[in-house]
Amino acid sequence: MTESAHGNSIVVGVDGSEASMAALRWASGQAGALGADVVAVHAWEPAGRSMAPYAAVSARATPADERVQAAELLAATVREVFGPQVDGAVRAVLVEGPPARVLVQQARGALLLALGRRAHGQYGQPAIGAVGRACLRNAAVPVVAVPVTERAATPLAVVAAPPLARSGAA
């Protein structure tokens, strides 16, 4: 699927993690302030290529099964963030392909791309992963890395456009 977002949307990378849920929550608030839509994107790749050639055939999920699992993960994440009644301004998109490439393609023409990141790097790893770094390098739109906040911490504020910018936007 090579369809990309339209100009009045915020694309969010979703992988089921708490970080991606934080990005989805932030994007929803930001989209409300901007009158934009949210496009939750989950990219998946068949795992068959990564399995050892000697792995039992019965242990391998079919690509159809993997697609169903990916769709369930996307739906569960969206439900976790928005509840059972998802707003019409939220669209879930499932795409087969490498996550960084898919997210950059889906964000083409959008207002921005939102990604989750860990609050701090763990085990000496950077707080933003390889997919996030690739999106930062290759996206043609602004990329926002939303940190996971502790439950007691104050959430990030929504940045509203000045009134003149909203009324003069095309």
pLDDT tens across 87-131, in order? 788 999 999 999 999 999 999 999 999 999 876 655 666 678 899
Position 1 confidence tier, pLDDT thresholds 50, 70, 90: very low
Report the C-alpha gap between 20 and 148 in whole angstroms: 8
Report the C-alpha gap between 10 and 106 in whole angstroms: 10
Stated pTM of the model? 0.78
pLDDT surpassing 60 at residue 166: no
Position 12 confidence tier, pLDDT thresholds 50, 70, 90: very high
Share of the chain above pLDDT 70, in %: 74
Pairing state of beta strands 37-44 and 9-13?
A: parallel
pLDDT tens across 39-55, in order? 999 999 987 666 666 76
